């Protein structure tokens, strides 16, 4: 069997220790891998690489298609992006898969109650607020863009249904907040039920994310596979880690169409770095996910069984277990796992299913079906400390005959033409101008209208309002009445 070459980044803090421990177990299990060690993390930032990775690291990962990485630190301040998020987004690892399972010997409230947990969170990994698209609108108002796309939603939702089939689950649950974020989470939820039609053998259900969190805390056994958008998925997956003992027992796989990243999701723990105290379990479990993905399932199973047998015998690092007086160090824990390895069952792994990424000539453009899009209005983000009536007078005196001012809002709540004096204001209004004719109005006309307003208002940003196949695709304000033409 020829060896598979993967890229390995040991990480920061405890990263090198736990990575060395995991690789020693791989070596003892005769896993057919070769390692191309790459430079990523805080040390690379400190050398002046703003992305947190060298050019050589990027080239290696794009050649092997697999990155196995330890925890990495992002320097605080200075506008530096997280290396973990950057890596996931750069290589479009659209689906973050984290499996949470009761481990015998790791005591939790649920294990003591005899309630087994076996669930998987599939989190969208590219979009949402993790785009980090933010700016100050005024001295008092900062704005973050939340981007949800239909093609991106399709990728992660389809991954969730495939995971459910592979794990033998019967139900896939969509966690969402579509009751409030009707367009972004609404698109995600609509896409979920469209994809669900392709998997009639699986039950599809949805739960509002706050109710989901409550149910996970008191009855996690109700759930099998849960798919969520990025930010909600981040929060819920950490909640689930707490159900099974913490992030130290939570493996993570970031799956893309071409490149895959397997990593420990806990922190770098610099306070114990170099002291032989770190727990390599999360990284080892992530490594077994990697082996399974590479077609080396029998190696992954043998290593998982050895880990479980070790913990079941009461051998553990100092961060878990009831008896912590005789806890093992990182190296000793790895050696104990190696002693439990049963290599007799490693017979018919199938690395042939692993394929290196093909060279791409250009970026893939993901688009959905053709639909009729019409621009019907414009939102102007206006900085002002005046009352809404004053702004309305300025706008209305400069409007074209086929356009009208329909609403002025502040922090999403309507303050004109109707509102309440009990609504507190900040210094950014959204002024909505919509066409008042059934005739088509070119997008250019709305932009010209906005330019005319620049002479009278301090406009910080603009947003075009569209319909798709005649359906309004922009939100109403709290308290706004629907324009008859929209």
pLDDT digits (tens, 9 = 90+) for 280-321: 999 999 999 999 999 899 999 999 999 999 998 888 888 776
Determine if the peptide bond prior to 417 is cis (ω within 30°): yes
Beta-strand pair 403-410/471-472: unpaired
Two structure tokens written together for 326: 């005789």
Whether domain 373-472 has CATH 3.30.9.90: no
Which one, of 407, 403, 396, lies nearest residue 439 by Cα?
403
Say what the pTM is.
Answer: 0.90
State yes or no: pLDDT of 264 exceeds 60.
yes
**Measured between alpha carbons, how far is 7 from 128 in angstroms, rounded to an integer?**
28
Strand 171-176 versus strand 66-69 pairing type: unpaired
| Model confidence pLDDT, tens digit, residues 345-388 | 777 666 656 777 777 889 888 886 678 899 999 999 999 999 99
Helix (H, G, I), strand (E, B) or coil at 416: strand
Q: Which two tokens stand for residue 57?
A: 């690291």
Q: What letters, b where the CB count within 10 A reaches 16 and e where it falls short, cover 210-223?
A: eebbeebeeebeeb
So where are the chain's domains? 1-92+269-368, 95-255, 373-472
Fold matches, 1-92+269-368 and 373-472: no
Q: What is the mean pLDDT of residues 394-402?
A: 95
How many Cα neighbours within 13 Å face the side chain of 485?
19
CB atoms within 10 A of CB 478: 12
Q: For 229-301, where are the E strands, in sequence order?
A: 251-255, 260-264
Return the DSSP state at 343: G
- Cα distance between residue 269 and residue 327, in whole Å: 18
Q: What's the rounded Cα separation, in Å, for the pair 93 and 60?
A: 16
Give the range with max mean pLDDT: 35-44, 184-193, 351-360, 465-474. 184-193
243 within 8 A of 110, measured Cβ to Cβ = yes
- Helix, strand, coil percentages in the chain from 3-state DSSP, rounded to 5: 35, 25, 40
Among the residues of 387-460, which ranges form H helices? Answer: 388-396, 443-453
- The 3-class SS string of 141-207 reads CEEECCECCHHHHHHHHHHHHHHHHHHCCCEEEEEECCCCCCCHHHHHHHHHHHHHCCCCCCEEEEE
Name the maximum alpha-carbon separation found in the chain.
84
Q: Which CATH number fits domain 95-255: 3.40.50.1220, 3.30.390.30, 3.40.640.10, 3.40.718.10?
A: 3.40.718.10
Question: What CATH architecture is 1-92+269-368?
Answer: 3-Layer(aba) Sandwich (3.40)
Average model confidence (pLDDT) for the chain? Answer: 91
């Amino acid at each position: 069997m020829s060896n598979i070459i993967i890229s390995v980044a040991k990480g920061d803090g405890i990263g090198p220790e736990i990575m060395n421990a995991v690789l020693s177990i791989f070596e003892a299990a005769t896993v057919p891998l070769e390692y191309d060690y790459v430079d990523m993390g805080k040390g690379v930032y400190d050398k002046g690489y703003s992305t947190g990775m060298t050019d050589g690291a990027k080239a290696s990962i794009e050649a092997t298609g697999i990155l196995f990485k330890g925890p990495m630190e992002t320097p605080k301040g200075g506008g530096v992006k997280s290396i973990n998020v950057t890596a996931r987004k750069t290589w479009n690892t659209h689906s973050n898969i984290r499996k949470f399972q009761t481990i015998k010997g790791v005591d939790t409230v649920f294990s003591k109650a005899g309630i087994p947990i076996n669930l998987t969170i599939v989190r969208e990994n590219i979009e949402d607020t993790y785009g980090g698209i933010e700016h100050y609108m005024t001295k008092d108002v900062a704005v973050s863009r939340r981007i949800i796309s239909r093609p991106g939603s399709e990728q992660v939702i389809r991954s969730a249904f495939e995971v459910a089939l592979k794990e033998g689950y019967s139900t896939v649950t969509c966690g969402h907040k579509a009751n409030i974020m009707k367009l972004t989470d609404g698109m995600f939820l609509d896409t979920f039920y469209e994809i669900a039609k392709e998997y009639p053998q699986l039950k599809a259900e949805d739960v509002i994310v706050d109710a989901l969190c409550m149910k996970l805390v008191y009855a996690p056994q109700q759930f099998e596979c849960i798919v969520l958008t990025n930010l909600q998925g981040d929060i819920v997956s950490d909640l689930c880690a707490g159900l099974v003992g913490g992030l130290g027992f939570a493996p993570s796989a970031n799956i893309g169409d071409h490149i895959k990243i397997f990593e420990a999701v806990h922190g770098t723990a610099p306070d114990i770095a170099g002291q032989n105290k770190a727990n390599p379990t999360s990284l080892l479990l992530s490594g077994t996910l990697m082996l399974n993905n590479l077609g080396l399932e029998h190696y992954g199973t043998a290593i998982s069984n050895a880990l479980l047998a070790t913990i079941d015998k009461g051998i553990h690092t100092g961060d878990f277990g009831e008896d912590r007086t005789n806890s093992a160090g990182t190296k000793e824990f790895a050696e104990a796992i190696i002693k439990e390895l049963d290599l007799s069952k490693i017979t018919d792994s199938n690395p042939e299913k692993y394929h290196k990424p093909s060279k791409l000539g250009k970026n893939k453009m993901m688009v959905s079906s053709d639909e009729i899009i019409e621009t019907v209005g414009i939102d102007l983000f206006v900085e002002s400390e005046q009352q809404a009536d004053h702004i309305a007078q300025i706008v209305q005196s400069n409007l074209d005959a086929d356009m009208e001012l329909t609403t002025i809002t502040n922090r999403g709540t309507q303050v004109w033409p109707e509102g309440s004096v009990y609504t507190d204001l900040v210094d950014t209004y959204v002024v909505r101008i919509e066409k008042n004719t059934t005739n088509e109005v070119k997008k250019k006309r709305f932009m010209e209208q906005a330019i005319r307003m620049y002479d009278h208002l301090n406009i910080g940003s603009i947003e075009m309002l569209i319909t798709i196949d005649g359906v309004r695709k922009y939100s109403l304000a709290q308290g706004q009445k629907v324009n008859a033409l929209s």
